[in-house]
Amino acid sequence: MQSKRRILLIIGGGIAAYKCLDLIRRLRERGFSVRAIMTKAAEQFVTPLAVGAISNERVFTELFNLDDEREIGHIRLARDCDLIVVAPATADLLAKMAHGQANDLATSVLLATDKRVLAAPAMNPRMWLNPATQRNVAQLKADGISFIGPAVGEMAERGEAGPGRLAEVPVLIDAIERRLAPRDTAAMPLAGRHVLITSGPTHEPIDPVRYLANRSSGKQGFALAAAARSLGANVTLIAGPVALPDPAGVTVVRIETAAEMLDAVTQALPADVAIFAAAVADWRIAKPKSEKLKKSAGSEPPALKLAENPDILKTIGHRSKDRPRLVVGFAAETENVVANAQKKLKSKAADWIVANDVSPETGIMGGDRNTVHIVTRDGVEHWSDMHKTDVAEKLMVRVAIHLGQQSADIA
């Protein structure tokens, strides 16, 4: 029931904090209960008395409160809600969240919660665009924190404009309601579909302690898995060695080598869609050493004979039995990006190729952003630079539309 929807609102210390009074009022009109935590800085802009009067709830400000902490109050606050909303999420608060600090009540609750968190940034445009803030936001997105805003416009400071305004209250309410709406999985665009995704690098052993690898972080593939799951798909993610947590609701198979990845892909078939985002090593050591290679003074470096690894995309693209209806490959190129992707589309028998420039100056390999080109038999789509989570969401929506059109044609 709507009356049971519980919001924990964490109010950060920015001029936009005054908007939280209207936010609380409107949420209560829609049947939400709202409890608030205020940071010390927030109390410089709005008072706990005003927040408490509008929420009709006690306002929490202190971590070391004897009465509250007798019952481990910060843990109770972290769990006794359906959604945590951080608004305004200042640059300072985002930095503390990204680095796992817990030096006040707000950050302690955020570190202790197992609930979803929605952050609404608000700060000066230069603070928002600062690389440090963007790194923190990227980390929080990777950790599963969702964001709304910031909006673009005039700031409180005279002559300042740009991205940094707190999202307007109706926009915030819409974002909150969407995150708490019952999920009708049967109505989701990828419901009943099996999406197979590969991600990360592979490690090809040289000896028991060394291996051949590349700089892939796996972030794009993991973002794709999360996006596919959010659209209702059953997702199998086959991941090389990466330091990323398993996406919620996704079947994850961890592998090391290209041969292991191919075997895992084959075992996971049939699938409606296969997306090969992994940066699979092209070669392996033909005969890995069973003991650690040693060096000795005056000796020549050991000769390492390479053997070609299986081409997973090509193997599945040319597969006659249980080939996925849509086979999507990724092409990480350092030159002639689109032309090389078009060649790969044909030689690998893929349906789409997602091409990107990973030359060193782009900073894409292992980074948080991507600029991709979608190459199909019908042409090329050039997408603007965006965060990898946004690339994933946009690509999976395109996949869902494609499959829907295929089903309509068959019918």
What is the predicted pLDDT for the residue at 114? 85
Average pLDDT over residues 393-398: 94
| pLDDT for residue 183 is more than 70 | no
Region 345-364: mean pLDDT is 86
Mean pLDDT of 14-30: 91
pLDDT at residue 298 in the model = 79
**So what's the pLDDT on residue 41?**
93
**Angle in degrees, CA 191, 195, 197, rounded to 5:** 150
For residues 231 and 75, the model is more confident at: 231
Q: For residue 395, what are its two tokens?
A: 């690509």
Distance CA 107, CA 126 (A): 24
Segment of 12-16, 42-46, 156-160, 350-354 carrying the highest mean pLDDT: 350-354
Instruction: State the span(s) of the chain assigned CATH 3.40.50.10300.
Output: 185-286+298-410
Instruction: Provide CB contacts within 8 A for 301, sequence distance 6+.
Output: 295
Give residue 113's pLDDT: 87
Structure confidence at residue 409 (pLDDT): 61
Picking from 139-143, 261-265, 377-381, 394-398, which range would have the lowest pLDDT averaged per residue? 139-143
Residues catalogued as catalytic: 214
Handedness of CA 377, 378, 383, 387 (dihedral sign): negative
Nearest to 17 by CA among 62, 64, 68, 54: 54
Average pLDDT of the residues in 32-38 = 92
Residue limits of CATH 3.40.50.1950 in the chain: 2-180
Does the pLDDT value for residue 53 go beyond 90?
A: yes
Q: Is the pLDDT of residue 366 over 70?
A: no
The 10s digit of each residue's pLDDT in 126-169 is 899 999 999 999 889 888 888 988 887 777 677 777 888 888 88
CATH of domain 185-286+298-410: 3.40.50.10300
Alpha helices in 114-216 (DSSP H): 125-129, 131-142, 169-180
Would you call 87 helix, strand, or coil by DSSP?
strand
Round to whole Å and give the CA distance between 319 and 324.
9
Average pLDDT, the chain: 88
Whole-number Å distance between alpha carbons of 278 and 255: 11
* 49-77: average pLDDT: 77
User: Are the CB atoms for 225 and 275 separated by under 8 Å?
Assistant: no
Q: How confident is the model at residue 187 (pLDDT cuts 50, 70, 90)?
A: low
> What are the structure tokens assigned to 48, written together?
């706990």
Q: With 0.85 as the threshold, say if the pTM is over it.
A: no
| CATH superfamily name and code, 2-180 | Flavin prenyltransferase-like (3.40.50.1950)
Does the pLDDT of residue 364 top 70, yes or no? no
Distance CA 268, CA 253 (A): 10
pLDDT band with cut points at 50, 70 and 90 for residue 368? confident
The pLDDT of residue 76 is: 79
Q: Looking at the predicted structure, is the pLDDT value of residue 1 above 90?
A: no
